[in-house]
Every structure is written in C-alpha cells, then in structure tokens.
Structure 1
Amino acid sequence: MSMHRVLTTLSCALTAVLATAWSGAPPTQPARPAAATVRIHSGLVRGATHDGYRTFEGIPYAAPPVGRLRWASPRPATPWAGVRDATRPASACPQLAGEVPGGSTEEDCLHLNVTTPDGAGPAHPRPVIVWLHGGGFTTGAGSSYDAHRMATRGDVVVVTVNYRLGALGFLAHGGLPGSGTFGLADQQAALRWVHAEIGTFGGDAHNVTLAGESAGGYSVCAQLTSPAATGLFERAIVESGPCTGTPARPFAPSSVPLSTARATGADLAAKVGCGAAHDVLACLRRVAVPRLLAAQDADQQPAYASPLLPGDPAEAIAAGRLHHLPVLIGNNHDEGNGWAAGIIQAGNPVTPDTWSDVVSAFFSSPGQATAVVREYPVHRTDGGPVFGAVIGDANFACPTARTDALLTAQVPTWRYEFADEHAPPLTPGTPPFPLGAPHASELPYLFDLGGRPRDLTAAQHRLADTMIDYWTRFARTADPNGPSSPHWSGQTVLSLAPDHIVPTHTAVPRHHCAFWNTLG
C-alpha cells in the first residue's frame, strides 16, 4: 500500500476522531433577538447581530445539485420570496460521520456563511477572506469555522463555503462534462457569488483572498492554476496543503489524472449496481446518497487533464502556469504526529525491531525504505515522534519548502511554520507520545471550531492575535507586516510559537529536506 493511500485512509479516521473539535457546541456569542436584513440578487436574507459583528449563515450560492443536476456544473441559486432566515447554518454536504456529527445525506448543501464586522458597509468596504475547509475532500463544512475573531480583530469580511465532497464532488466518467472537478467548480461558483454580492455585506469584491487548510489548501493550489479561476481572487493563503511534492513523493494529493479518476468512477458504478446499466449516469443519479457514501473510495481528489484543471497543479506551478498573485503558505512543525499516534494506538508499535517493517509498508521501493530507516533511526523510546517526522517531512514540510521555492521565483511569497509544541489538543484522550504542533493544530488560533473557543494560555492568546494580524494584513495589502508584529521577510520562514515569533533559515535542514529532495 502506498504512503499516499495509507495517509489518505488514516486522514479519514483522524477526521472522525477530530469530530469533537468541531462538533456543535453553542456559539461563543449567542445571537440577540435583533436581526440584520440585507437584499441580495436572490432575495432578502435575515442574519443575526452579535457584539461587534453580524453573521449570515446558510445562504445558497448555487442551485441544489439534485436530480439531473447531480454531477453537473453549479447553476445559479433560485430566487425566493419573502425573507430567508440566515441565523443558523444549513446542511453540510453529504459525508459520513466525522467532523459533522452524524454525517449528512443532504444534497441541497451549496451554501456559504458570511461574518462581517460592525462598521463594514457599501461605503466602507473591507477586505474579504474566502475560507475553504479541509477534510480530505470527503468531510467538513464551512459552518464549522466560527470566524468572528478574525472578522473583528482583522476588520475583514470572512466567507466560509460548503462544496461537494467525495464521489458527489469528484466523480469522473467518460462523456460527463466537468468530470472529477465538481467540488472545485462549486468553489469557483462561490467566488463568483462573492464578487456579485459581498458589497452588500460590506466586503470589497476587488480585494478577495482565497484561503484554505489541508484539502482546502490543496483546493487553493488547484484554483491558482485553473484558467477558470482567473480574476476571482487577488491573493492566496495555503495552510498545510502544499502544491507540489518531492522526488520521493512527486505529486501532492491535490489532484489525480483524469484517467485515474475515471477508473475510480467505474469502480463506484460497479459497486452500486450501475456498471452494466444502459445509461450509467442515469442509473447513478438514482442511487440513494447513503449507498453512494458507503461505496465511495476513501481516496478522493479532483481530476486534472480536465477543462477546469488542465494540468497537475505541481507541474503547472513549476512551469509558471499559475495566476501571478501573492501567496502566504506554511505548514505545522509536527504535521505527521497525529497519524503516527493513530497508527500506534491501532496496535502497530514503532520500535527499533519493528521500524524497518513499518517503513517498508509505506514505500514500495526497498532502496527507499532502507534509506529512510538510515536517515531516521529509531531508538528505544522515540519511535512515535520519529515516525511522525517521516510522515510530516515527506508529505508536508518538504513539499511546502519546494512549493515556496517555486513560488518565490515567480510571485511575492511569505512562508511560515506553526510551532507551538503545546498547542491545545483537538482529539480526546491521551496520545502515546506528545504531539507537539500536528496537522490542523493552528486552526484554533484563527477560528473557534464548532463555535467553541479553545483553552489558550495568555501567551497563546497573543500568538493567536498575532497570527490573525498577519493573515488579515496580508489580505488587506498583500504584505503581512505591520508595526505591532515581528518583521516577516519573504526570504525566511517565520516560526510561530508563543512569545517566540522569529524568522529562521533552519526549517529545511530540520526537516531533512535535502534527503527527501534527492530520494527518487
């Protein structure tokens, strides 16, 4: 089994564990009875007022992708009469239980949420950040990210987006227009909605930053190289979703060839009894959502060699075929530790005696496996962190460094590494070893996940404020620097830790990137 497939499968399992981090706690600021009503092209929407900001949740940006619109490009939302209630989230897109408690089977899910600070209005428009959630392209929801701290401290309008997931978002089949890219097309439809409507909410349609984490970060990479996204955003933020790989891991999991996606689609059709149908697509459109979810492959990505995504984003960026706009990109210091801990807790100890076998399960080449064991020796008590370093370095830290190098040669680029070794845990229970700053651990510093703030120390609160300042200044001016924060140079990696925010040149050696860049 390849490292990529193992990691994708483990990502789904980890997302299920992370459900407690996002799940339905009451919002930090309960809505007051007073409401805010605005008019958009589809009709009137009534949001909620809070202390210092307003929220408008569950706004349709496209028609429900049901019936003949299942696996079709997004169509405009249908206008409504009267006033639409936008005081609570709408349904998440179909997915198994995980980040969204109980999962979802509701296809009418193409909605977004707007958080706007007091004072924002058509006469005083604010920068806009459009957030794409992570979740391995199979789970997640925009409503899981309470953005009021970013909106109020940064004085920006934040839009969080649902997009089609799993097979419903990325099915590919011969003769099906849009094959393998429906979820990406949804993201572009949401960006077009922002351009048309965000001024009503006090946002500047000409100052839009597209941001995302994990699968959301990979989505930003795809949109950076999609001709159809031209003019839809002015800046990009990529968190833990590197656009390129390394020689050992040559392709980031942001996309797969269309031929691979079609083979996956054929397998799905066969599993649900449509493989031999006279009209395979008509048969698939009649299959109930729960059955599709049960049958879909855990490994889901958009397809390239398609009209929306002509080439692999990694190759496109290396060749300079991208939208030339500023990028803020980074990773977490210990990205792989969550996966390593999950593998160990599943009954797979990592010891000096087992280490060679563990590595061999991730690398098909015996020569690569031997080289990894030599580069990352395991001693008696450090098996978990060493295993986590292999996963994190190979799949996040070094690909991020490579992406940064390619981007820096072409566009203004700022790179960070989130390094709070005591970041609040996103999972319950006690891990088999300290996780440090694993995948997704930076998110509570930017958002209240599930509307619930994390317990942060005073120093961590300061770090959260500083990160929001950097992110939102970048969205405002394309330069994250300001008088109240340590200077961030485009030639260094900014290490983000409580009371220790410093530029560094040591990130690449620390992550063994010279090794990964030569391991073929």
Structure 2
Amino acid sequence: MVRARTAAVVLCVCAALAACTSATAPEAPAIPLGELVSVEQGELLGATDGSVLRYRGIPYAAPPVGERRFTPPGRPQSWSGTRPATQPGTRCAQLPAAPGTPHATGGSDTEDCLTLDITVPAGTAADARLPVLVWIHGGGFTAGAGTDTDPRRLAEAGPLVVVTVNYRLGIFGFFGLPGLEGSGSFGLLDQRAALTWVRRNIAAFGGDPGRVTLAGQSAGADSVCGQLTSPLSAGLFHRVIMQSGECGTTNLVDVIHPGAGPAGDTWKPLPLLEAAGAAAAGTLGCPAPAGSTDPTAVLTCLRALPTAQLVGGAGYYWSPATGTPMLPRRPSDIVLNRAARPGVPILAGTTRDEGTLFTVAFFDRAGTPLTDPGFRALLSAAAGTRAGEAGAVYRTVDRSPGRAWSDVITDRAYACPGLVNYRALADRGPLYAYELADPAAPSPYVALPADLAGGSAHGAEMPYLFDLVPGQPELTAAQEALAAELVDRWARFATTGEPNAGTSGFDTVTSWPPWTGDGRLLTISGPGAATTVTPGPAFAEGHRCALWDWR
C-alpha cells in the first residue's frame, strides 16, 4: 500500500513537472532552409540571391536524347556527391526569336533540357510547408523557357515556393507515328513528370505537396487546361491559373489566318498528327519501308539525325494530340460538357487587345500590313454569311484594317470562347474571371506599330506578375502599384484558393466576386478603384459575342 501510494505521488509530481515544463519551455527555433538540400536523386547546392534562394537546373526526368528522343519522360538519374544548382538549365530545342522582338531570347539546339528551377523566399523554415506555384511557360508549344520569367515577387508575396519548368517543344514535344508510345504527347507528359517530381520532392524546399497551383500563360494556359482535363494528372495539383488560354474552343491559327485548317489547330486528332509525322519523316530522309507499319526503322533513322536538322519541325506546326492516354478527348469538349475535374478553384482571364500581337506576327512583321481589301477577304472567310454585318461593326472610321482584324481575333478567339468556358468551369468549382484592360500596358513580346499601339496586348499581364528575362519593360508609377496588387491577388489565390485582399495590406482594392449565374469579371484597368467589376452580359456585348454565336 505504501509502495502504491509512493508511486502515485511520484507520478503526480512527474506530471506536474511535465506540465510546468511544457508551459514555460520556449519553442525550438525554426531551422531555416539552407542552400544545401537533398532530393531523391541526391544532394543539391543552390544559392542565395538577395531576398530569395534559388535552386536551378534541376533535372526532373532523364535526358530525352539518343534512344530517348521521341519517348515518354523517364525517371531522373541520380548522382553522387553534391550537384551545383546555381545555373539555369538549357532551353529546350527551338528556333531563335524573330528579329525585332522585344526582350528576345536565343534559340537552342539542345535536347537535354528537362529541368526546373525553384525560387523560395530567403529565411523560409525547412519545414514551412508553403503553398507551391508551378509555372508553365507559353510560346505556342514551339518556343520559350521557364527561365524567361523571374518569379521573385510572387515568391515573396505569398510567401510561395515557385517552380518554373522546361518541357519539350515543337517536333521534339509533339511528334507522332502510329505505334509510337507517347505519340503526340511528349511535351505534356514532361509537364506531368515535373508535377510528379514536385509532389515527391518539394517538401525538401519548404513546400507543401498538398497545396500546388498549376499556372501558365498562352500555350502554358492551354497546357494547364490539358492537365486539368487529363485523367493521368489527377491529384498532382489543387488550383489552376489560366492566362490567355481558352482550352481550345477555337482553332486559333485558323481564326488569325483563315485557311490554316486542322493542321493549325492547337489540339490535333491523333490520326492527323501521326500522318503529319509520317510525312515529316519522309521529308527528313527517313521514310517508312514500303508496306511496313512498324515505326522502328523510321525512329532509328530520325534518332540518328542532328538536333539542328529537326528543330525547324519539317515545316509543320507540332502541338498536342487528342485521342491519347494523356488527352482522351479535346480539352474544350470536356470543359463544355461540364466534365472537367470538380472542386478545383480556377483563376482565368484574357487581355482586352489579345489580337494585336498576332496581327503583327502574321502580317506587319512579314512586311504585308493589312489593307482594307485584305481585311474584307479575311472577314469573309471568318464570318461567312455574316461578313457584311461584322464588317459594319469592326471596320469603322477610327479603326485601321489591322486594328479591325485584331479586334476580330480578340473577340472570336479569346474573349467570347473564354466567356463560354467560364460558365462551364464555374459549374465545377469556384472560378474568378478577369480581363486586363490597362490602356497603356507594355507589349512584352512584339513592338506594336502606331495603329495597333495602346491597350493590353497578348501577354501584357506578364510584366505585372514577373520580372521578364532578359529585360523588364518599364512600368509607370501607377502600373507599379497595379503590379503590386496583381502579384498580391495571384499569390493569395495560390495560398487560399481565392484572390481577394483579406489582411494582405490591399484592403481598399475592388473585391473580386466568384462567378455565379451570368457571371462577373474583374476589369483590371489600373490600381485601386480604377479596377471595376463587369457583368458577364456586358462583357459579351462589348466583345460582340452575338456575332460569333457565343451565347
């Protein structure tokens, strides 16, 4: 009995001491993330860059060279010792940017390019579990690199862990042949491999694999929609941002330049792309043996060719195939049938003057600016029996032929199909829609002639969100203030799934409503009160959507 009582007293004293200790002991200080980290393949040494940590050129898949050309991405190779991660990976093989392109970047003839860069705010605790934003670059599936954008401001605003990705482009990303595994899908499979790598390794950089936002612009946004509607990518991300990408509701190239036909479509039926692959192989000196349906001989020949001989794509626009395991159906069909993955918050939008970039690229840069007869011919092909009605609306005295055609592209290829997509996607989860309408936004990708200058061209939101490499356009003081607001909204969406200010310090900005019913969009014209909310029907009327039968 005495022994039992003594034991009870000892237990009580020990419990009291434990309670006292737990109540007064200071928490262990968080261990900050260092430049040295360990991932599945081995040890990486990054670098401090002012207010952020950078880990660059990290391979997320096996190099797609030699026998791995035109194959799905393989598991990344391990290394011994410490791998320097202080220099960006090589751009995937592509032609140089066209002369006269602002902030132009060079081409590449390197296929060993499946790398990603990671930016983390300096001082982040190693176990912080910060939300993650994975950025997919644009460039029409033929150009660009993750390193064209510096995400420092987004990383700091979140705080976020930001990952920028390189993926195979052009013929290397989307070549197809009957019987070829991954036919027409290599670039999208690369993106999926990067997302898989992030899920397995991002915790080592202070990131949370359970809070990943997949974001992109132009072809990057199309890619995001492809991943959102792919059965193979379920569970790899939890929110999406799509900037100037409308899931392929229209054939963009055929809108810009009627007559391009199915070969110009972003999303190509697999048989069409595989027929193009067989034709391209013949052009490159690697025809299939007579009567053979086995792709082995063709692939052996193609894999022996130098990269520089293939980088031009044999004169074909290579882009993702549908009817594949990666994309069983066209993304727009899945979206419009209300069959997109449910419960994924979406932030999506366009710019008010998307078409000006394409008018320059297809006409002015080619030295053939549009004349009035040229505009009328294009409009007749685009609008058919409604060409007269459309001409009266678009070709007014204050619009040059080029400006009028730019407006047609904006409305028919971006604003109006975007509106239809917003309505369909909002049925599957919370959606926040926007239009960038800064009347003096810088054009980061093409120099606009006088009749097309002003407004918000395709890509105009990019310098508000990122520092562009190799050069950032100059912003006015008001645009700097708008940039701060947009960075805050995008970072908040990646953190919480909704883009309103909360306690972030921008409590006076216009509240951004989620889409319900006919919907409302945030019209982003400037900082603070200069940004307003536009009802969906008013947006449709402003972009003449009734002309194009977008209801």
* TM-score using structure 1 length: 0.88
Q: CA deviation at 1:375?
A: 3.5
Which moves more between the two structures, 278-287 or 207-216? Answer: 278-287
Residue in structure 1 matched with residue 379 of structure 2 by the alignment: 359
Residue in structure 2 matched with residue 154 of structure 1 by the alignment: 158
**Alpha carbons of structure 1 residues 494 and 380: separation in structure 2 relative to 1, 3 Å:** closer
Residue in structure 2 matched with residue 489 of structure 1 by the alignment: 513
Q: CA deviation at 1:518?
A: 5.5
Residue in structure 2 matched with residue 316 of structure 1 by the alignment: 334
Which moves more between the two structures, 321-330 or 448-457? Answer: 448-457
DSSP-derived class of the 1:124 partner: coil
Residue in structure 1 matched with residue 52 of structure 2 by the alignment: 53
DSSP-derived class of the 2:414 partner: helix
Residue in structure 2 matched with residue 461 of structure 1 by the alignment: 480
Q: CA deviation at 1:171?
A: 0.8
| 1:15-34 deviation digits (Å, cap 9, x = unpaired) | xxxxxxxxxxxxxxxxxxxx
DSSP-derived class of the 1:296 partner: helix
Separation (CA, whole Å) in 2 of partners of 1:371 and 1:341: 25
Q: CA deviation at 1:378?
A: 3.9
Residue in structure 2 matched with residue 174 of structure 1 by the alignment: 178
Q: Unaligned 5+ residue runs, structure 1?
A: 1-34
The answer (yes or no) to whether the contact 1:269–1:275 under 8 Å persists in 2 is yes
Q: CA deviation at 1:289?
A: 1.1
Separation (CA, whole Å) in 1 of partners of 2:397 and 2:407: 14
Residue in structure 2 matched with residue 40 of structure 1 by the alignment: 39
Q: CA deviation at 1:367?
A: 2.3
Separation (CA, whole Å) in 1 of partners of 2:80 and 2:49: 26
Corresponding position: 1:393 with 2:411: yes
Q: CA deviation at 1:454?
A: 2.8
Separation (CA, whole Å) in 1 of partners of 2:104 and 2:359: 24
**Alpha carbons of structure 1 residues 430 and 494: separation in structure 2 relative to 1, 3 Å:** closer
Which moves more between the two structures, 143-152 or 335-344? Answer: 335-344
Residue in structure 1 matched with residue 306 of structure 2 by the alignment: 288
The answer (yes or no) to whether the contact 2:340–2:428 under 8 Å persists in 1 is no
Amino acid at match of 1:304: T
| 1:82-135 deviation digits (Å, cap 9, x = unpaired) | 211111111111111128743111111000000001232342111100000000
Separation (CA, whole Å) in 2 of partners of 1:404 and 1:201: 34
Residue correspondence of structure 1 range 141-290 to structure 2 within 5 A: 141-245=145-249, 253-277=265-289, 279-290=297-308
**Alpha carbons of structure 1 residues 204 and 427: separation in structure 2 relative to 1, 3 Å:** closer
Amino acid at match of 1:196: R
Separation (CA, whole Å) in 1 of partners of 2:211 and 2:448: 43
Amino acid at match of 1:472: A
Q: CA deviation at 1:81?
A: 1.4
Separation (CA, whole Å) in 2 of partners of 1:284 and 1:373: 48
**Alpha carbons of structure 1 residues 314 and 425: separation in structure 2 relative to 1, 3 Å:** closer
Q: How many pairs does the alignment contain?
A: 484
Q: Looking at CA atoms only, which structure, 1 or 2, has the larger radius of gyration?
A: 2
The answer (yes or no) to whether the contact 2:222–2:248 under 8 Å persists in 1 is no
Which moves more between the two structures, 102-111 or 230-239? Answer: 102-111
Residue in structure 2 matched with residue 67 of structure 1 by the alignment: 66
Q: CA deviation at 1:175?
A: 0.5
Which moves more between the two structures, 377-386 or 393-402? Answer: 377-386
Q: CA deviation at 1:261?
A: 0.9
Separation (CA, whole Å) in 1 of partners of 2:174 and 2:479: 38
Amino acid at match of 2:539: A
| 1:212-265 deviation digits (Å, cap 9, x = unpaired) | 001000001111110000100001100001014269979994411111111221
Residue in structure 1 matched with residue 360 of structure 2 by the alignment: 341
The answer (yes or no) to whether the contact 2:67–2:303 under 8 Å persists in 1 is yes
Separation (CA, whole Å) in 1 of partners of 2:318 and 2:127: 43
Q: CA deviation at 1:44?
A: 1.2
Residue in structure 2 matched with residue 133 of structure 1 by the alignment: 137
Residue in structure 1 matched with residue 546 of structure 2 by the alignment: 514
Separation (CA, whole Å) in 1 of partners of 2:545 and 2:385: 18
Residue correspondence of structure 1 range 325-474 to structure 2 within 5 A: 325-342=344-361, 343-344=363-364, 346-360=366-380, 363=382, 366-367=384-385, 369-379=387-397, 382-426=400-444, 431-433=449-451, 434-450=453-469, 452-474=471-493
Which moves more between the two structures, 117-126 or 399-408? Answer: 117-126
DSSP-derived class of the 2:247 partner: coil
Amino acid at match of 2:49: H
Q: CA deviation at 1:299?
A: 1.8
Separation (CA, whole Å) in 1 of partners of 2:376 and 2:340: 40
| 1:446-468 deviation digits (Å, cap 9, x = unpaired) | 11111543311111111111111
The answer (yes or no) to whether the contact 1:418–1:437 under 8 Å persists in 2 is yes
Which moves more between the two structures, 185-194 or 477-486? Answer: 477-486
Residue in structure 2 matched with residue 11 of structure 1 by the alignment: none
The answer (yes or no) to whether the contact 2:133–2:163 under 8 Å persists in 1 is yes
The answer (yes or no) to whether the contact 1:121–1:199 under 8 Å persists in 2 is no
Q: CA deviation at 1:352?
A: 4.2
Amino acid at match of 1:450: V
Separation (CA, whole Å) in 2 of partners of 1:518 and 1:504: 18
DSSP-derived class of the 1:280 partner: helix
The answer (yes or no) to whether the contact 1:219–1:254 under 8 Å persists in 2 is no
Which moves more between the two structures, 403-412 or 478-487? Answer: 478-487
Structure ranking higher on relative contact order (CA contacts 8 Å, 6+ apart): 1
**Alpha carbons of structure 1 residues 294 and 347: separation in structure 2 relative to 1, 3 Å:** closer
The answer (yes or no) to whether the contact 1:136–1:300 under 8 Å persists in 2 is no
Separation (CA, whole Å) in 2 of partners of 1:336 and 1:96: 23
**Alpha carbons of structure 1 residues 353 and 230: separation in structure 2 relative to 1, 3 Å:** closer
DSSP-derived class of the 1:212 partner: strand
The answer (yes or no) to whether the contact 2:284–2:314 under 8 Å persists in 1 is no
The answer (yes or no) to whether the contact 1:122–1:200 under 8 Å persists in 2 is yes
Q: CA deviation at 1:496?
A: 1.1
Residue in structure 1 matched with residue 5 of structure 2 by the alignment: none
Separation (CA, whole Å) in 1 of partners of 2:124 and 2:54: 12
Amino acid at match of 1:460: Q
**Alpha carbons of structure 1 residues 345 and 101: separation in structure 2 relative to 1, 3 Å:** closer
Which of 523, 527, 533 aligns to 1:503? It is 533
| 1:433-487 deviation digits (Å, cap 9, x = unpaired) | 2141000111011111115433111111111111111111111111111232321
Corresponding position: 1:86 with 2:85: yes
Separation (CA, whole Å) in 2 of partners of 1:513 and 1:147: 35
Separation (CA, whole Å) in 2 of partners of 1:428 and 1:210: 26
Separation (CA, whole Å) in 1 of partners of 2:464 and 2:338: 33
DSSP-derived class of the 1:372 partner: helix
Separation (CA, whole Å) in 1 of partners of 2:325 and 2:445: 39
Amino acid at match of 1:508: A
Separation (CA, whole Å) in 2 of partners of 1:303 and 1:353: 36
Amino acid at match of 1:336: G
Q: CA deviation at 1:371?
A: 4.5
**Alpha carbons of structure 1 residues 387 and 471: separation in structure 2 relative to 1, 3 Å:** same
Separation (CA, whole Å) in 2 of partners of 1:243 and 1:430: 27
| 1:24-54 deviation digits (Å, cap 9, x = unpaired) | xxxxxxxxxxx81111111111111022211
